[in-house]
């Protein structure tokens, strides 16, 4: 058994355990260890684990793991936390940074002490206003991959009673995010890897959003790539102009900005709060 040092961080309510390879050279993560330390009763508790390492070609390298130990997809709020951590550990000379996450190049910017902007790559796989079968009804949904796959659904398009077409009476507070999110996440339509699921309500050009995240297998207080997906979908379907303001379950403000030219989303970014919650050590 060995002692390892970590930093617990939050990006708009999305929380992560960050291990620095420099101070933990012997750390060897595997899915079981990650699942154990992310457990909110028997571990530190988090939506995911981030490993930060030095890089010869970039300011730093970030490896992201979901709470279930899976990896490979982008975590935008995790990237924003990593940017601030890299700044605090003197890996970033200026406020701009280039880094790799799970083998893909990204960049970001420290706006101020607790506001960080992350620049995403161009999204893929856009498909709008199609029907999916869930909760004993056909629900209008849209899809886009913003580094992770996301379904976006307006809560007004979900019926409380599938037999009553006028029962679209859910509010954001009483919407069954876990139940419906889980059903869609594991739908045969999205096999084998599944999808993240976001439920939105647009009011005065501000998007309220709640997200079910695969890999966490639960609702999270915020989802960065999900917020980006919701902003793009709302621009295309509902003409919500960038920069788009979103309020996740945490109540924090996230801002998604982009340009749309020749049917391409460009200069895509996610800006919002980041904070260090505490530092600690754990015996593994």
How many whole angstroms separate alpha carbon 110 and alpha carbon 114? 8
Is residue 81 part of the annotated active site? The answer reads no
CB 66 within 8 A of CB 35: no
CB-based contacts of 26, cutoff 8 Å, min separation 6: 2, 4
**CA separation (Å) from 219 to 56, 194, 201?**
37, 15, 16
Is residue 223 part of the annotated active site? The answer reads yes
Closest CA to 5 of 16, 22, 47: 22
Strand intervals (E) in the chain = 3-11, 14-20, 48-53, 60-66, 96-101, 104-112, 115-119, 124-134, 137-145, 149-154, 196-203, 206-213, 218-220, 244-247, 254-261, 264-283
CB 79 within 8 A of CB 62: yes
- Residues with active-site annotation: 75, 223
């Amino acid at each position: 058994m060995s002692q390892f040092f970590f930093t617990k961080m939050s990006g708009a309510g999305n929380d992560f355990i960050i291990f620095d390879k420099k101070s933990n050279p012997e750390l060897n993560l595997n899915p079981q260890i990650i699942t154990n330390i992310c457990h909110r009763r028997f571990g530190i508790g988090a939506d995911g684990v981030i490993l930060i390492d030095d890089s010869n070609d970039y300011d730093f390298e970030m490896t992201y793991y979901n709470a279930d130990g899976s990896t490979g997809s982008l975590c935008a709020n995790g990237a924003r936390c990593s940017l601030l951590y890299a700044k605090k550990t003197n890996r970033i000379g200026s406020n701009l940074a280039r880094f790799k996450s799970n083998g893909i190049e990204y960049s970001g910017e420290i706006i101020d002490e607790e506001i960080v902007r992350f620049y995403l790559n161009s999204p893929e796989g856009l498909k709008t206003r199609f029907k999916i079968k869930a909760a004993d009804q056909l629900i209008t949904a849209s899809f886009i991959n913003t580094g992770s796959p996301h379904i976006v659904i307006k809560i007004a398009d979900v019926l409380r009673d599938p037999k009553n077409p006028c029962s679209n009476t859910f509010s954001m507070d009483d919407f069954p995010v876990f139940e419906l999110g889980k059903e869609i996440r594991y739908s045969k339509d999205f096999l084998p890897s599944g999808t993240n699921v976001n439920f939105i309500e647009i009011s005065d050009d501000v998007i309220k959003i709640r997200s079910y995240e695969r890999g966490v297998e639960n609702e999270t207080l915020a989802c960065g790539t999900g917020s980006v997906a919701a902003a793009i979908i709302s621009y295309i379907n509902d003409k919500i102009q960038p920069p788009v303001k979103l309020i996740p379950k945490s109540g924090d403000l996230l801002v998604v900005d982009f340009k749309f030219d020749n049917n391409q989303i460009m200069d895509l970014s996610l800006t919002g709060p980041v904070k260090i919650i505490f530092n600690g050590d754990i015996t593994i």
